[in-house]
Amino acid sequence: MQARTVVEVAAVSLMITIACAGCGGAAKAGPTTTAAVKPTKTTAAIKPTKSKWNAGYSTIPPGGDLTFTASFVVPPVSCLSDKDQDQGILPDIGAQFKHKGKYVDVDGLFTLECNDGPQSPELDLYDNGRTLHTRYILGPDTGDHVTITVTGTPEMSRITYRDLTNPQHATLSGPGGTPTFVFAQVDADATGNPPTFYPVLKFGKITFKVSLDGKTLAVGHALEATDLTSPAGKVEVTTGPLTGSTTFTTKQQ
């Protein structure tokens, strides 16, 4: 149901570190989704623009080595009246890097979906085409407090997932580059090219807490907020104010 190309990569080449109490299984490659649109706004107090791809915040980091962290609690979900219809929402935290003239994503993508009833939450980590699918290893579970941290230098990038409720973590590393923007958002669930968008399931709201280089998003440049709309233009998920430049809530309409 997600809109990136599947990339199969041998686990030995990924520099993966996984720690999980009482878990088993093997890492699997999986699909990814469309990342945030590059921000263009220049003021910290902004009105969200409409997007058919996501709701949330993005900003350009101040330069130099990058550390970006965002956390949230995985919400309970329920299906729309047609439980057999594919439905979803994808919390997405990460950064875009420029590497050898190309723009690549380093992000953690959580999948909350309905398909013949609510499905267990899933997580995929991505780093410059490398993929770690953690469904059979880590979870997470509904109600878990989870965090994603992206670090980057010109020589190396790394994304780390931590479940603070059920202590476990996973790390995926890549070749690094120049960070161009960071984002914390909920993505629409879509597939195909041109994309087919699936309805947004019932998730209520998700509150993100974010930090950039150990400070607030105010240290970045060109902060942008978006509201998620249906293909017909109806607002489905709103993005609230950025409180203290560290906390905001995406809320279903």
* Report for 1-10, 28-37, 206-215: range of highest mean pLDDT: 206-215
pLDDT of residue 41: 41
Span 142-156, pLDDT tens digits = 999 999 999 999 999
What is the value of pTM for the model shown?
0.84
Q: How many domains does the chain have?
A: 1
In a domain, 152, yes or no: yes
Calculate Rg over the CA atoms of the chain: 17
Containing structural domain, residue 192: 11-216
In-domain check, residue 32: yes
DSSP sequence for the chain = ---SPP----GGGTT-EEEETT-----B-------PPPP----SS-PPEEESSEEEEEEE--SSSEEEEEEEEPPP-B--S-TTS-EEEEEEEEEEEEETTEEEEEEEEEEEEESSSB---EEEEEETTEEEE-TTTT---TT-EEEEEEEE-SS-EEEEEEETTTTEEEEEEE---EEEEEEEEEEPPEETTTTEEPPP-B--EEEEEEEETTB-GGGSEEEEEEEEE-TTS-EEEEE---BTTTEEEEEE-
Is 109 part of any domain?
Answer: yes
Has residue 238 been placed in a domain?
A: no
With respect to residue 132, please indicate whether it lies within any of the assigned structural domains: yes
In-domain check, residue 230? no
More confident of the two residues 16 and 82: 82
pLDDT of 182 > 70? The answer is: yes
Please check whether residue 51 lies inside any domain of the structure.
yes
Inform me whether the pLDDT recorded for 12 exceeds 60. Answer: no
Tokens of 107: 């992000």
% the chain with pLDDT above 70: 79
Share of the chain above pLDDT 90, in %: 70
In this predicted structure, what is the pLDDT of residue 46? 83
Instruction: Give 53-99 pLDDT, tens digit per residue.
Output: 999 999 999 989 999 999 999 999 999 876 667 899 999 999 999 99
- Is 187 a residue whose pLDDT tops 60? yes
Residue 244 lies in a domain: no
Residue type, 197: F
